[in-house]
Amino acid sequence: MTARVVLATRNVGKIAEVRRILASYDVELVGLDAYPELADVVEDGESFTDNARLKARVVAQQTGLVAVADDSGLTVDSLNGMPGILSARWSGRHGDDAANLALVLAQIADLPDSRRGAAFVCAAAAVAPDDREVVVEEAVVGTLLREPRGSNGFGYDPIFVPAGETRTTAEMSAAEKDAISHRGKAFRALASRLAELL
């Protein structure tokens, strides 16, 4: 029997990506768009894991279903790990991908290629209505380009080149990106343990 699981986001790009990643698992994934009456959860944790756990717990309590959530972002070595948990609102406006990307590029504009290391990090949490939980964190390391390339993906994908690759994650197909991405790795690890909560 297929279990309904709520993904604690309204981000259509993220919903589509997580649906692809979990396609081979026996779950019906719905986003918060299926629950328009629910308010967005304030992400005020101090880490990716804090925020993922917080969102999943609140949505599980509000819906009575197992909820999954992630918090993910870009950590730039030369910026002491920032934008980190502030990735989606680095420019001051939540979800303004173009402004966020432009600001990071401006902040590292004078750095040589050897100091442009970065990672995408994803913490994913699943929480049952009775507060049982599973949390995992995964990352993919790489470097940042000087100019965006590619039109797939979202966020910082057009400037991030994973280690061992020559293409940005925005130049990869959805399947190629999902196979190596921080979110792909985290949600596959989480999905393999979802049965513990269902």
Read off the pLDDT of residues 102-120 as tens digits, 9 standing for 90 and up: 999 999 999 999 999 999 9
- The residue whose two tokens read 């790009």 is 13
**Whether residue 1 has pLDDT greater than 70:** no
For the chain, domains (ranges, CATH) are 3-196 (3.90.950.10)
pLDDT of residue 42: 85
Tell me the pLDDT tens digit for each residue of 55-103.
999 999 999 999 999 999 999 999 999 999 999 999 998 879 999 999 9
Neighbouring residues of 86: CB distance < 8 A, sequence distance ≥ 6: 73
What are the Cα distances from residue 32, in Å, to 54, 81, 83, 163? 15, 29, 25, 34
pTM: 0.88
- The residue whose two tokens read 């390391």 is 141
C-alpha dihedral over 69, 125, 163, 86, to 10 degrees? 50
Q: Which residues are catalytic?
A: 71
pLDDT of residue 93: 83
pLDDT band of 131, cuts 50, 70, 90 = very high
Q: What beta strand segments (E) does 34-132 contain?
A: 67-76, 117-127
**Whether residue 2 has pLDDT greater than 80:** no
Q: What percent of the chain is modeled with pLDDT above 90?
A: 69
Q: What is the DSSP string of 128-147?
A: -TTS-EEEEEEEEEEEE-SS
**Is there a cis peptide before residue 112, judged by omega within 30 degrees of 0?**
no
**Whether residue 51 has pLDDT greater than 70:** yes
Q: What percent of the chain is modeled with pLDDT above 70?
A: 99
In degrees, to the nearest 5, what angle opens at C-alpha 70 toward C-alphas 184 and 169?
A: 40
What are the Cα distances from residue 186, in Å, to 16, 18, 35, 121, 193? 15, 10, 25, 9, 11
State the average pLDDT over residues 135-163: 95
Between 18 and 68, name the one with better pLDDT: 68
pLDDT of residue 17: 82
